[in-house]
Amino acid sequence: MDLDEQISQLQADLTEIKSLLEKAERKRVQDVLTVEQKKIEREITLKQQQKEQLLNKDAGEANRTSATKGYTVKINNYGWDQSDKFVKIYITLKGVHKISLENIEASFTERSFVVLVKDLDGKNYQMTVNNLLCSIDAKESCRKVKTDMVLLMCKKKTPKKWECLTQVEKQTKDKEKPSMDESADPSEGLMSMLKKIYSEGDDEMKRTINKAWAESQEKKAKGGEMDF
């Protein structure tokens, strides 16, 4: 019998005691009924206090659980590779294989996917990737759980090699490629490329370029052509 039912039964007893007390004519009977009335009233008060304490406890636990579930960590570290049919995303999360599979969600669209791992060591983990480089088959894509890892299998619509995972990565990669203007002076393009290599190279690379430049200038001074 839960507290609500116990309180309900006590209140029914109290109502009946009061009814009897009103009808009682002998003092001894009235005294007995009054003592019993006060006893029942104390029990009701005690049960109501217990109920309030339980409600406060449940509310506190709910708030703590809500706060825990509301803390979401963005997943930035992952690995990926591909086969002819799939692009595979590897997400390392320690202990992820120990939680319920229902807490590991993955959804796919033609050009995106979202992964949500709920309540892993008191935290949520989420990864969202939009603008995939090529289209995938959302219905044929899936997630698998391995030891300390979530594996996403994105089914390619077209069995071709992907240069990058997303359009943004490809655009960044293309910007980093040296521009080749066919109408420009070839020597200027070469010099521009050498300057870029020099500025980004290590000490050994810089020494090699400096040596080649010095030898070229020496040959040019002697009437030869610049040669790299």
Average pLDDT over residues 180-202: 63
Average pLDDT over residues 141-151: 96
Give pLDDT, residue 64: 55
Q: Mean pLDDT in the chain?
A: 82
Average pLDDT over residues 114-121: 92
Residues 86/154, Cβ–Cβ less than 8 Å: yes
**Domain boundaries, given as residue ranges, for the chain:** 3-69, 72-156, 179-221
Which residues make beta-bridge pairs with 166? 132
Confidence of residue 1 (pLDDT cuts 50, 70, 90): low
Average pLDDT over residues 186-212: 69
- Domain boundaries 72-156, corresponding CATH code: 2.60.40.790
Residues 136/155, Cβ–Cβ less than 8 Å: yes
Three-state SS at 89: strand
What is the C-alpha radius of gyration for the chain, rounded to an integer number of angstroms?
38
pLDDT above 70: percentage of residues in the chain = 79
Q: Could you tell me the sign of the dihedral formed by the alpha carbons of 97, 125, 164, 176, in that order?
A: negative
Residues 117/106, Cβ–Cβ less than 8 Å: no
**Is residue 141 pLDDT above 50, yes or no?**
yes
Considering only residues 167 and 184, tell me which one the structure prediction assigns the higher pLDDT.
167
**Is residue 151 pLDDT above 70, yes or no?**
yes
d(CA 223, CA 98): 75
- Domain boundaries 3-69, corresponding CATH code: 4.10.860.10
d(CA 156, CA 111): 10
Task: Supply 105's token pair.
Answer: 């969600």
Which residues make beta-bridge pairs with 72? 124
Ramachandran bin of 179, using left for φ above 0, alpha for ψ from -120 to 50, beta for the remaining angles:
beta
Confidence of residue 10 (pLDDT cuts 50, 70, 90): confident
Task: Supply 210's token pair.
Answer: 């400096």
Q: Could you tell me the sign of the dihedral formed by the alpha carbons of 176, 182, 183, 188, in that order?
A: positive
Give pLDDT, residue 52: 79
What is the pTM assigned to this prediction?
A: 0.51
pLDDT tens digits, 64-112: 554 445 588 999 999 999 999 999 999 999 999 999 999 999 999 999 9
Give pLDDT, residue 228: 45
- The one-character DSSP state at 227 is -
**Is residue 226 pLDDT above 50, yes or no?**
no
